[in-house]
């Protein structure tokens, strides 16, 4: 294990993030969630292709862990799972690949209630070993990695979306209202047009707030579009990610004894 390499990443310096992949499967079959190593390599490449243009780089901090545990794979008893598997500090990214989310059953592409992934927004930094520290990270449906079986969502961008939350980004449709950005609300990013509904598929020209400037950000990684529709983050989102990193995660070395802050919300 190593400490997070990004002790500082202000200004235009590249943010270096250590990544720990954890595969939690029901059995040793691909259908049971046992992701082949080459697909994890592809997943890391997808993340870097999306984030490198904004000065963020991901490198594996250790070999991926593989655990066969049906309850954990189905998103049950996650506190015990993360207590055993989580590695690194608050500036390191732990990604857990599971067969179902929300405590659901089976290995279908929808998982528990159709969720493809979830992640925790930054807060703190919390004290090492606290509940906020342990829950930090992203949980991803195994079939959304490149080459997976989730039709329309198997290019690896579920992880791209969820890691955006890890960096503090909210949905482009945050607030679900054309009034969401009044008084500084919404996604707190000025250059994403106001959007009142999540996107399904890739509907070119979608405009959920026709009385306001701009079309919906269907190509933005923080919408709910299908993977092939995704293209980029906005410059404003890149600025917010760097600001949130500097505020919460930069310099958060493994084993930090900083005091615990309020629990961060979970984002899907």
1 vs 90, 185, 198, CA distance in Å? 14, 40, 39
Instruction: Spell out the residues 6+ positions from residue 199 whose beta carbon is closer than 8 angstroms to its own.
Output: 173, 206, 216, 218, 223, 224, 225, 229
Instruction: Spell out the residues 6+ positions from residue 35 whose beta carbon is closer than 8 angstroms to its own.
Output: 23, 25, 97, 142, 145
- Give catalytic residue positions: 162
Q: Which two tokens stand for residue 265?
A: 């919300």
CA distance 22 to 26: 13
Please name every residue paired with 120 in a beta bridge, in sequence order, or none if there are none.
266
Q: Which two tokens stand for residue 50?
A: 């999306």
How many C-beta neighbours within 10 Å does residue 153 have? 23
């Amino acid at each position: 294990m190593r400490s997070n390499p990004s002790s500082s990443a202000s200004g235009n310096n590249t943010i270096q993030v250590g990544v720990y992949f954890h595969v939690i499967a029901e059995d040793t079959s691909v259908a049971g969630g046992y992701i082949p190593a080459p697909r994890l390599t592809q997943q890391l490449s997808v993340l870097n292709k999306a984030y490198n243009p904004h000065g963020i780089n991901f490198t594996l901090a250790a070999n991926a862990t593989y655990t066969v545990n049906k309850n954990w794979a189905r998103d049950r008893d996650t506190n015990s799972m993360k207590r055993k598997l989580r590695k690194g500090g608050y500036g390191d990214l732990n990604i857990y690949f599971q067969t179902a989310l929300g405590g659901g059953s089976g290995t279908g592409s929808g998982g528990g209630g159709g969720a493809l992934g979830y992640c925790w927004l930054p807060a703190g930094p919390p004290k090492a070993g606290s509940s906020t520290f342990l829950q930090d990270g992203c949980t991803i449906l195994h079939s959304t990695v490149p080459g997976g079986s989730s039709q329309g969502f198997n290019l690896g961008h579920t992880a791209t979306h969820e890691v955006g939350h890890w960096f503090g980004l909210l949905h482009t449709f945050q607030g679900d209202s054309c009034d969401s950005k009044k008084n500084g609300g919404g996604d707190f990013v000025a250059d994403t047009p106001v959007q009142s509904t999540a996107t399904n598929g890739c509907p070119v020209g979608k405009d959920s707030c026709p009385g306001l400037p701009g079309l919906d950000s269907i190509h933005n990684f923080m919408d709910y579009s299908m993977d092939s529709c995704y293209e980029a983050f906005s410059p404003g989102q890149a600025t917010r990610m760097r600001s949130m990193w500097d505020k919460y995660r930069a310099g958060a070395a493994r084993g930090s004894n900083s005091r615990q802050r309020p629990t961060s919300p979970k984002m899907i």
